């Protein structure tokens, strides 16, 4: 990229692959923390602010996109009814019957599909599967994959159709 003052190339102005990778890694960490926090919120019923404060004290946030963590945590809670309504037609069970970890992953992924259209649907699905592999039951990732594969075309119809061409 050419700098405005010097008309010379400055490599620090360009987005390096390492910088992009760093952002992805920090978002992945934010998703992992948010999944844990959402699980705690569901199970213990503590306030989001208490849970967020506890997570920030108890965990090293140097490799976490803290802003994204907060957006996911509070966004899922704020839009819980909309998220659950979107999820329900893609489930063979009721929301109440879902494993709490898989519910946290599905709510987080659904929030991203609904509200973060800057995140490609395939990234949302892949991240949801990875979260379920780490935190979910033995075959939880297969369940999450199936639900998100049904959900993505409902919420991101144009994007999914464009990708399948």
Q: Where are the domains of the chain?
A: 24-155
Per-residue model confidence (pLDDT) at position 125: 98
DSSP state for residue 128 in the 8-state scheme = H
Query: Do 102 and 140 touch, CB atoms closer than 8 A?
Result: yes
Q: What is the pLDDT of residue 163?
A: 86
Indicate if the pLDDT at residue 6 is higher than 70: no
Minimum mean pLDDT range among 3-7, 34-38, 110-114, 116-120: 3-7
pTM: 0.86
Query: What is the predicted pLDDT for the residue at 19?
Result: 54
Query: What share of the chain has pLDDT > 70, as a percent?
Result: 87
The better pLDDT of the pair 115, 18 is held by 115
Residue with the two structure tokens 């709490």: 100
- pLDDT 10s digits, 103-117: 999 999 999 999 999
Q: What is the C-alpha to C-alpha distance for residues 93 and 83, in angstroms, rounded to an integer?
A: 15
Contact 100, 131 (CB under 8 A): no
| CATH class of domain segment(s) 24-155 | mainly alpha
User: Residue 101 pLDDT more than 50?
Assistant: yes
Residue with tokens 């039951």: 137
35, 135 Cβ separation under 8 angstroms: yes
pLDDT over 90, % of the chain: 82
């Amino acid at each position: 990229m050419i700098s405005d003052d010097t008309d010379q190339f400055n490599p620090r102005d360009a987005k390096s692959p390492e910088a992009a990778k760093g952002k992805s890694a920090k978002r992945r960490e934010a998703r992992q923390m948010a999944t844990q926090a959402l699980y705690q919120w569901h199970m213990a019923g503590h306030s989001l602010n208490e849970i967020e404060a506890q997570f920030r004290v108890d965990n090293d946030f140097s490799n976490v996109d803290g802003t994204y963590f907060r957006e996911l945590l509070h966004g899922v809670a704020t839009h819980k009814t909309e998220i659950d309504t979107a999820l329900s037609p893609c489930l063979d069970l009721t929301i109440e019957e879902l494993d709490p970890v898989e519910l946290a992953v599905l709510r987080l992924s659904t929030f991203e599909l609904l509200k973060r259209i800057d995140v490609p649907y395939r990234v949302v699905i892949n991240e949801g599967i990875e979260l379920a592999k780490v935190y979910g039951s033995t075959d939880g990732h297969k369940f999450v994959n199936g639900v998100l594969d049904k959900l993505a075309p409902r919420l991101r119809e144009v994007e999914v159709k464009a990708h399948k061409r």
